[in-house]
Homo-oligomer: A and B are copies of this chain.
């Protein structure tokens, strides 16, 4: 897969914002970094996981912190290169490939920008098929890979190596407080893994799926009266385990936000466009966690909730939401791997303090 035009970058970022389920970072910041490389003739090189040697050394690179801070805090390309140099020096070995940790407007693009900059391939995969607020909430960790050694840095050169931790949650806890000390938005290189690990433990194809979605939205704007018709044709294909539905069509009547401990917590309230007695609410911690229609749950983590402009179907991150905005909210089934019991233990509803058990999107009722 070649990402060699600004249009493709925008398509990929657009699709990644949808799969980022409110989080995963602002696409504008990520695009700027990648566009700079592409304009100067350096392109990211995307490979299939199957192309990796089993003993290849593969690492994740990601932005870590509160998305609300990221949008105010544009960072240079030098940070991720510095992470790579530090990781290679620490491990005493060259890195062979990069794999995204999550899907998102920033965190799908950052690995591509680093790929273009240094010439390493990026694997078409990630560890969630979506975005999550915690570093340990990845299939890599659930299936036995370790977050550490992890390198953290900001653009000023403050650099911390979390060498080893008793649990991946502890690595997350350390990264979060270090992030707070280093400006609330940092970059991290983590999950040094083998090629064999990536092949067996990653959610495969998430970069190409992001591109498919982003391109589909763009084309649907001219090909369909309602671009959501074209979008749903992509997102809802039960024969290949894709389930999606429009959960709500309405406007935002209230948003509560708090940026605390390096996260963006929030609560979004909506009502129907014509019938304001119809209510809809979404809870978020960087990413959307649960959606309720008229008080009844209609989609819950790890299934995906996406907020899109109701006219253009442009996906919007949680920090881009504003009072009065008219949105359609779409629910998507998580990748089947993400719904396994061992995964739900790490990033199911209880991991976020939500009392409900997980119920698949396609088994939940919604009011028309």
What are 29 A-B contacts with C-beta separation under 8 Å? A90-B90, A90-B161, A156-B166, A157-B164, A157-B165, A157-B166, A158-B165, A158-B166, A158-B170, A158-B174, A159-B163, A159-B164, A159-B165, A160-B160, A160-B161, A160-B162, A160-B163, A160-B174, A161-B161, A161-B162, A161-B163, A170-B181, A173-B181, A174-B181, A174-B182, A177-B177, A177-B178, A177-B181, A178-B178
- A144-167: which residues lie under 8 A (CB-CB) from chain B? 156-166
**Which residue of chain B has its CB nearest to the CB of A174?**
B181
A31 at the interface (CB under 8 A from B): no
Which 8 A-B residue pairings sit nearest by Cβ, starting from the closest?
A177-B177, A161-B161, A159-B163, A158-B165, A173-B181, A159-B164, A156-B166, A174-B181
Task: Give the shortest distance, in Å, between A279 (CB) and chain B (any CB).
Answer: 39
A117 at the interface (CB under 8 A from B): no
CA distance A157 to B182 in the complex (A): 24
A272 at the interface (CB under 8 A from B): no
A86 at the interface (CB under 8 A from B): yes
Query: A164: which B residues are within 8 A, CB to CB?
Result: 157-159
CA distance A327 to B186 in the complex (A): 50
Query: A86: which B residues are within 8 A, CB to CB?
Result: 163
A180 at the interface (CB under 8 A from B): yes
Number of chain A residues whose Cβ lies closer than 8 Å to a Cβ of chain B: 21
**Which residue of chain B has its CB nearest to the CB of A164?**
B159
Query: A165: which B residues are within 8 A, CB to CB?
Result: 157-159
Query: A177: which B residues are within 8 A, CB to CB?
Result: 177-178, 180-181
Task: Give the shortest distance, in Å, between A2 (CB) and chain B (any CB).
Answer: 36
**Which residue of chain B has its CB nearest to the CB of A156?**
B166
- A73-92: which residues lie under 8 A (CB-CB) from chain B? 86, 90
Query: A156: which B residues are within 8 A, CB to CB?
Result: 166
Query: A162: which B residues are within 8 A, CB to CB?
Result: 159-161
Interface of A is mostly: mixed
User: 13 new A-B pairs (CB below 8 Å) besides A158-B165, A174-B182?
Assistant: A157-B164, A157-B165, A158-B170, A159-B162, A159-B164, A159-B165, A161-B161, A161-B162, A170-B181, A174-B181, A177-B180, A177-B181, A178-B178
Query: A166: which B residues are within 8 A, CB to CB?
Result: 156-158
CA distance A160 to B148 in the complex (A): 10
- A168-190: which residues lie under 8 A (CB-CB) from chain B? 170, 173-174, 177-178, 180-182
Task: Give the shortest distance, in Å, between A89 (CB) and chain B (any CB).
Answer: 9
Query: A160: which B residues are within 8 A, CB to CB?
Result: 160-163, 174
CA distance A181 to B165 in the complex (A): 11
Task: Give the shortest distance, in Å, between A33 (CB) and chain B (any CB).
Answer: 23
CA distance A198 to B333 in the complex (A): 62
CA distance A86 to B181 in the complex (A): 23
CA distance A182 to B164 in the complex (A): 12
**Which residue of chain B has its CB nearest to the CB of A162?**
B160
CA distance A159 to B148 in the complex (A): 10
Interface string of A177-211 (1 = CB under 8 A from B): 11011100000000000000000000000000000
Query: A159: which B residues are within 8 A, CB to CB?
Result: 162-165
CA distance A166 to B183 in the complex (A): 13
Which of B90, B157, B158, B174 makes the CB contact (< 8 A) with A178?
A: B174
Task: Give the shortest distance, in Å, between A356 (CB) and chain B (any CB).
Answer: 30
Task: Give the shortest distance, in Å, between A43 (CB) and chain B (any CB).
Answer: 31
Task: Give the shortest distance, in Å, between A107 (CB) and chain B (any CB).
Answer: 23
